[in-house]
Amino acid sequence: MPRVALTPEAADVLRRLRADHGELMFHQSGGCCDGSAPMCYPAGEFRTGSADVHLGDLAVGEFTVPVWMSAAQFEHWSHTHLTIDVVPGRGSGFSLEAPLGVRFLVRSRLLDEEEL
């Protein structure tokens, strides 16, 4: 059962970023300031490892974008489904979308019993 999804608006931003930067990835950040938000990087820019969980791959037409989260954080998120959306915004760490004047955002809902 998919844990992650994408709004059409976020998919449009990913298409632009893909054209400029090549293959992409997300890593959901915890912590302060620009945290608690999905960070978008060129694939491989952020090195994932045994401390991370692969939540799924977002299909954006002909390409896909993997979504990662730290395993420790996943323990607290595992009962929720995440939809990556985009809102007007300014900064987001080193995430690729910020110069476009937008920022990715996670919208959450509880997984129902069938999904769990």
Shortest reach from residue 61's CB to other proteins, in Å = 24
Q: Which of 31, 59, 64, 115 binds other proteins (CB under 8 A)?
A: 31
Greatest distance between any 2 Cα atoms in the chain: 40
Judged by CB under 8 A, does residue 14 bind other proteins? Answer: no
Q: Exactly one of 36, 43, 54, 115 binds other proteins (CB under 8 A); which one?
A: 36
Binding site for other proteins (CB under 8 A): 27-37, 39, 41, 45-47, 70, 72-73, 76-77, 80, 87-96, 98-99, 103, 105-110
